[in-house]
Structure 1
Amino acid sequence: MIGRDEILALIPHQGAMCLWNEVIAWNADSVRLRTKTHRDPAHPLRSQGRLRAVHLCEYGAQAMAVHGGLLARDSGAAAKPGLLVALRGVELRVARIDDLPGDLECEAQALAQGEGSQQYAFRIFHGGEIIAEGRAAVMFA
């Protein structure tokens, strides 16, 4: 398992903006992560005391960043900085996430990876149930 300190070394998101606590498993095509950050009352994405389900898209995008960081580290390189440019087919099955008692888990699978961009599908689970899924695209700087 890979802990938060290693995740912080892999991605540009630092401090409370790093949303994942641990990598459960990963390979060349996918990553599975777990977190409890959604329950933090000081979560940086909260507004009016709530953390809305739309922020699960950021969790999915950060899962992509973690996977990219792991792949880059394995090849002896640094991950390229990227910009989230598209979300597609996003389905949110809850309205908010700050009131969910258990940990969140995410599966992110690479659909296409190139020199200038990458696309992933992500699914986020709570208590074994999918609460969000979609696809995301990132362009590298």
Structure 2
Amino acid sequence: MIGRAAILALIPHQGAMCLWDEVLAWDAGTIRLRAHSHRDPAHPLRAADGRLHAVHLCEYGAQALAVHGGLRAQAGGGVARPGLLVALRGVELQVACLDDLPDALEGTAEVLVDSEAGWQYAFRIQHAGTLLASGRAAVMPQRQP
């Protein structure tokens, strides 16, 4: 298992904006993670009314991609190229809010396309074995100045 400190070293999201707490398993094509951050009353994505809306599960999915990219690059002796989330497709949300979910969130991401032009992944976020969100995300590498 890979903990939060190692995740923070891999991705640009720092502090409370790093949403994942643990990597449970990963290989070249997939990653499985766990998070408890949705229960934090100070979660940075909470709305003014204090609610954490399900649309933010897309950010959990996108960060799963970033963690996976970081781990893949690290395993190859390098660091991940910075990327920009450019598209979400086929997103399906099964809940409205995450506020009343008592257990950890678990996420999975699977590489669909890996090329010099960018990456596409499918992601799924679950709670206690129940699917909360799924979709696909596309990331393009940032141009270096």
Distance 1:69 1:96 in 2: 29
Provide Cα deviations, 1:8-63, integer angstroms capped at 9, x if missing partner. 00000000000000000000000000010000000000012010000000000000
Over the residues paired in the alignment, what is the CA RMSD in angstroms?
A: 0.5
> What is the CA–CA distance in structure 2 between the aligned matches of 1:75 and 1:116, rounded to whole Å?
19
Deviations 1:71-96 (A, max 9, x none): 00000111111110000000000000
The aligned residue for residue 76 of structure 1 is 77
Deviation at 1:116, TM superposition (A): 2.5
The alpha carbon displacement at 1:117 in A equals: 0.5
CA distance in 1 between counterparts of 2:99 and 2:83 reads: 27
Aligned residue for 1:32? 32
Give the letter for the 2:32 counterpart. R
1:68 Cα deviation (Å)?
A: 0.1
Partner of 2:117: 116
Q: What is the match of residue 87 of structure 1?
A: 88
What SS is found at the alignment partner of 1:23?
strand
Whichever residue aligns with residue 102 of structure 2, its letter is P
The count of residues paired between Structure 1 and Structure 2 equals: 141
Normalising by structure 2, report the TM-score: 0.96
Asked if 1:129 is matched to 2:123, the reply is: no
* CA displacement at 1:98 relative to structure 2: 2.0
**What do residues 82-130 of structure 1 show as CA deviations (whole Å, max 9, x unaligned)?**
1100000000000001221110000100000111310000010001011
Runs of 4+ aligned residues of structure 1 deviating over 6 Å after TM superposition are none
SS at match of 1:34: strand
CA distance in 2, matches of 1:89, 1:32: 20
Q: Which runs of no fewer than 5 residues in structure 2 stay unpaired?
A: none
- The TM-score, its normalising length taken from structure 1, stands at 0.99
Partner Cα separation in structure 2 for residue 8 and residue 36 of structure 1: 15
Distance in 1 of aligned mates of 2:18 and 2:107:
14
Partner residue in 2 for 1:8: 8
The gaps in structure 1 that reach 5 residues or longer are none
